[in-house]
Amino acid sequence: MKIIDSPREGMQSLDRVIATADKVRYINHLMQAGLDTVETGSLASPKVIPQLADTLEVLRVLERGPGATNLMVLALNGRGAEVLASHERVTHISYPFSFSPVFLERNLKTTVEESLATVAGIVSLCSRNGKEPVIYISMAFGNPYGDPWSLELLAEWTGRLHRAGVRTLVLSNVSVEIGAGLIREAFTPLLPLFPDMEFGLHLHTSREGWTEKVEAAWETGVRRFDGVMNGRGGCPMAGGKMLGNLKTENLVEFARMKGISCGVDEAVLETAGREAGILFNYE
């Protein structure tokens, strides 16, 4: 089981900016915990997301040795991906695709077809520079804006992304609360249709019912799961009230309950959790 933690999501939801040195200390703790991947930041406009304006400086001073946790950064366009592709510490470049025109206009100021072209460019760029592209489908489980959505459309766009070279695809609900049944319905046909793709779940959820949702994805064959310490964060550009993230701690608990290996040192992760409590002001 791969557990990915995204301090980026936690930090971008705050109404204040965390000092660079504090970010580095916290992210170093996460990277020492044995997580598969840590998404450290993004190259969003500092005017829009000032909380992450120092992402490149954070990357410069992070402690990362050979064979350590993967280091992922979010790119919002081809220019950002080019910057990240040249950065030796970055191993994975993530990108938030969607087949929701409203979501893309609000978040990336782009269209669906332009975003698909960006995906293809990022895949090619990663191939040339020894990086791994991780593509997200935002609003994968429904759409609050009235844009067309169905399980058939999800399968169609998964196929188009596959033809664009995507091999790691993560489905996200962003701001729409979903149940275990829909998660099962979404993933069940996709995994046999695209056996060479690694599917993941980036779940925004209330604190209740998370076990059933993770279990549903696991039963369909999903082995990649995103979380955020204490479930902080969300997408500030999605509109409406932000829906928090699945807790990284819950994912570790799920692995323990199922007897699944996830490689996480729980004592080190607990240290990171205490650090997160200080930075994010929660108990």
Domains and CATH numbers, the chain: 2-280 (3.20.20.70)
Contacts of 50 (CB under 8 A, 6+ apart): 17
Report helix, strand or coil for 143: coil
User: Which pTM value belongs to this model?
Assistant: 0.94
**What is the predicted pLDDT for the residue at 243?**
63
pLDDT digits (tens, 9 = 90+) for 196-216: 999 999 999 877 789 999 999
Token readout for 105 is: 């206009």
pLDDT digits (tens, 9 = 90+) for 222-231: 999 999 998 8
Report helix, strand or coil for 183: helix
φ, ψ for residue 134, nearest 5 deg? -120, 110
pLDDT digits (tens, 9 = 90+) for 126-141: 999 999 999 999 999 9
C-alpha span between 240 and 106 (Å, rounded): 12
Residue 71, beta-bridge partner list:
38
